[in-house]
Structure 1
Amino acid sequence: MKTESTVRVLHLISAFQMGGAEKLLLDLIAENAAQPKVAFTVVIMNDLISEELKDELLATGCEVHLLQRPPKHRHPKYLLKLMGIIRKNRIQIIHSHNFGSKMWAILCKMLFPKLRLVFTIHDTHIVKKLSGFHIFLHKKIINRNIAISNAVLDECTERHINNTTRIYNGIRLEKFYAFRKNNNAINGEIKLVNVARITHRKKGQDVLIRAVHECLHKGLDVSCSFIGGVYEYDKDSMIQLKALAAELQITDKIHFLGNINDVPSHLAQYDVFVLPSRYEGLGLVILEAMAAGLPVIAANIDGPSELIKHGLNGYLFESENDVDLANQILAMSINSSKRMNMVAEASRGVKEFDMAVMLANYRDLYQSLTAK
């Protein structure tokens, strides 16, 4: 039950499609609904909305406002709607999650100076690309920045954004435990899986396709399924990835499944999870795979390296090196006892990334801001 002392937070996000920030926000709202600790309101600015995610969000019972703004429209009516929601709900904090929503939050603070602003930096390379003006906004106008990993925190420190707190992203472990894979024996074809939006310049699906070809060349019977959607900003990735599979003559071994809403129930169908990203703020999908009982292989970049200790709870391969990735897949497939030990170790470690832990950290942060 909400009380007068409950912190009142408006989560502001530009779109609500199948993406890491959107799914994280959905899980956060669902976790809070199960045991309310903060009074959350959600505002989705734009008309780019997944119906499946929207239905899940509404099912939590949280107050949700869909402003249906066409992207890049600057009509003042959207600001007026935001102001009305802030007044009605007596909002104390606006927590924004991307560039566009950050700017709307700053406009609101100009009109309601007592508002506190929180911004989550969901990936590496975001802070590195900020102009001097936006660095000023993060240092002087936003009250607290949240870095989702030490890698992101380091980038903030490099640019002297010192009002930053590291709070690891979390997952709702029970969703994955319900479908957990309990038998890690591999019989016949090795089924690899990758979960990420189809944008290979960041997510590295091309590296994984080349690694599958290398595995087949080494005599390993292997296939790979890619779960993830194609978006307007990178339509060409799917075309290029399919062309690569055709060029390597392995189209029968590469499967593009598109967006799948119920990922937890699918993961247990596979043998090994692979994340070949070129850069990654943390890698929530690694935690999801660990919770689902899958052995994990990931690129040795900053975010995933915080989650995986090579040889202990998974394998790391040299970023962009498809031959090294193929070697790690081979090592994972032939050493069953090592594989089972890594799965067990990963299962123990993933518990500290439960969404309940993240929500508690958020609540503490919100309370510290309103106490001031």
Structure 2
Amino acid sequence: MQYKTTVLIANGIMNAGGTETLVMEILRHQTGRIRYILMVHYQGEIQRGIFDDEIRSLGVEIVYIPSVGSLGINEYCRKFKCMVDKIGKIDIIHSHLNANSGIICKAAKMAGIPYRISHCHADIRFRGNRANNLKEEVKLQVLRIFVNKYSNHYWACSHEAWKRLFYFWKKEVVVPNMIDVQKYLSTSKHKQEVKATIGMKGKFVVGSVGRVARIKNYELILKAIAILNKQGCETHFVCYGRFDAQKDAYCKELQQLSDSLGITDKVHFKGNTINVTHDIKAFDVFLMPSITEGFGMAAIEAQAAGIPTLLSIGIPRIVDVGLGLVKFMPFDPKGWANEILKIQACSTVQDVFHEDIIVAFDKRGYNSASMVRVIEDKYLEMIH
């Protein structure tokens, strides 16, 4: 059998998220030129992700390793070497774990992997008190040393994410996040059908997709929803993304805020979904009020579905694919409420032509049908 270039993809648990979407698109559209192995990091006991079964069905082996944080650097490097010895020759490691990629690339170098990609998916920022932010910033700068010392290829989902993690003299490679556009294409009829399947039949739905975390700034949406409902504009907020209502302090804060605003019955945190290509079609308006994002994968998913999209000024402008669907907004709940009201009141909103969507995504490199070959070309160029 002819040897194939082997790429070890390093990530966390494979649940729904922007990074995971990119990884899944690479695996779904692989051309057969590369042998992929997925290395999943976990804490405590091995945790299965919602995509694991599909990954295996695509012919991709999954190996599991405890996270750096749970082992420490030296023990992690030892376990990593043992794992590589069992797998056999690996040509490239492609780590998607942001600042932690430096430790992973250190272990990879010690294990003899010659080509080491650190891939940054976030414009890494901290939101907390000044002392905590300082502590996290110092930690980041230490991890940057590892990233820039032990990686030899430096990729990011946007320029903003790239410059936050890598030193300016390194070679910048921007690999935009991508989706299978055909799966998102929708019509008004589809919207009504999907609303019915998620229990929102006849409702005006604003929505978001992303883990429930403080950086996502979901409290802004809740305040905007409260304003709209107080004005007599019945509006429901539906959010898909992982959360732990029992353990996570931010989840509890959002629950308390919903209660205090009197909108508990209008707020629906649905958790993870493997059917985002279907479920997002129920949204009348897509919202992303994040403090910052490295890219904002869900924003391009919304545009692929032809959904009017409101984004915070913390989102990179490159996510606007040029279909006239996007508006960038300051962090003001009243402004968001007013803009949502305008969209709801606009009876002239038309379905975006599917052909226009496909052309726009192809032009910007956001369509996985064409971009996975480009990524694999980059892999093969490294070793030749």
Decide: shared fold, TM above 0.5.
yes
Q: Secondary structure at the match of 1:160?
A: coil
Q: Secondary structure at the match of 2:274?
A: coil
CA deviation string 1:157-208 (max 9, x = no partner):
7x4252221110111223323xx23449999642111111111x21111100
**Which of 119, 129, 143 is the matching residue for 1:134?**
143
2:105 aligns with 105
Q: Secondary structure at the match of 1:192?
A: strand
- 1:185 and 1:42, CA in 2 relative to 1: closer, same or farther beyond 3 A? closer
1:173 aligns with 181
1:328 aligns with 339
CA distance in 2, matches of 1:69, 1:153: 23
CA deviation string 1:198-219 (max 9, x = no partner):
11x2111110010111122333
CA deviation string 1:254-293 (max 9, x = no partner):
1121222212221222322111111111111111122223
Asked if the contact 1:13/1:101 (under 8 Å) is kept, the reply is no
Displacement of 1:244 after TM fit?
Answer: 0.7
1:125 aligns with 124
- 1:162 and 1:337, CA in 2 relative to 1: closer, same or farther beyond 3 A? farther
Asked if the contact 1:170/1:357 (under 8 Å) is kept, the reply is no
Q: Secondary structure at the match of 1:72?
A: helix
Q: Which amino acid aligns with 1:273?
A: F
1:316 and 2:328 aligned: yes
- 1:104 and 1:282, CA in 2 relative to 1: closer, same or farther beyond 3 A? closer
Q: Secondary structure at the match of 1:220?
A: coil
CA RMSD of aligned residues (A): 3.1
Asked if the contact 1:182/1:293 (under 8 Å) is kept, the reply is no
Q: Which amino acid aligns with 1:58?
A: R
2:170 aligns with 162
**Which of 141, 158, 161 is the matching residue for 1:149?**
158
Q: Which amino acid aligns with 1:125?
A: I
Unpaired runs of 5+ in structure 2?
127-135, 193-200
Displacement of 1:339 after TM fit?
Answer: 5.6
Q: Secondary structure at the match of 1:169?
A: coil
Bigger shift: 220-229 or 181-190?
181-190
Alignment of 1:167-206 (within 5 A): 167-177=175-185, 180-183=186-189, 189-199=203-213, 201-206=214-219
Alignment of 1:220-299 (within 5 A): 220-231=233-244, 235-299=248-312
CA distance in 2, matches of 1:7, 1:232: 43
User: What count of residue pairs does the alignment treat as equivalent?
Assistant: 358
Asked if the contact 1:169/1:353 (under 8 Å) is kept, the reply is yes
CA distance in 2, matches of 1:244, 1:348: 42
Q: Secondary structure at the match of 1:268?
A: helix
2:10 aligns with 12
Asked if the contact 2:191/2:281 (under 8 Å) is kept, the reply is no
2:63 aligns with 65
2:382 aligns with 369
Displacement of 1:94 after TM fit?
Answer: 0.8
CA distance in 2, matches of 1:196, 1:102: 25
Displacement of 1:240 after TM fit?
Answer: 0.8
Q: Secondary structure at the match of 2:250?
A: helix
CA deviation string 1:278-314 (max 9, x = no partner):
11111111111222232222112242x2222799222
Displacement of 1:81 after TM fit?
Answer: 2.9
CA distance in 2, matches of 1:185, 1:262: 14
CA distance in 1, matches of 2:335, 2:11: 38
Asked if the contact 2:209/2:240 (under 8 Å) is kept, the reply is yes
Q: Secondary structure at the match of 2:379?
A: helix
Asked if the contact 1:184/1:271 (under 8 Å) is kept, the reply is no
CA distance in 2, matches of 1:134, 1:161: 17
Q: Secondary structure at the match of 2:90?
A: coil
Q: Which amino acid aligns with 2:110?
A: M
CA deviation string 1:22-52 (max 9, x = no partner):
33212221221xx323221112232453442
Q: Which amino acid aligns with 1:79?
A: F
2:132 aligns with none
Q: Which amino acid aligns with 2:105?
A: A
CA distance in 2, matches of 1:239, 1:329: 26
- 1:223 and 1:270, CA in 2 relative to 1: closer, same or farther beyond 3 A? same
CA deviation string 1:203-248 (max 9, x = no partner):
1111001011112233322111121221599701211111111111
1:306 and 2:304 aligned: no
Query: When the two structures are superposed, what TM-score results if normalisation uses the length of structure 1?
Result: 0.84
CA distance in 1, matches of 2:333, 2:176: 29
CA distance in 1, matches of 2:85, 2:271: 38
Q: Which amino acid aligns with 1:163?
A: K
Query: When the two structures are superposed, what TM-score results if normalisation uses the length of structure 2?
Result: 0.82
CA distance in 1, matches of 2:19, 2:233: 36
Unpaired runs of 5+ in structure 1?
none
**Which of 12, 24, 41 is the matching residue for 2:37?**
41
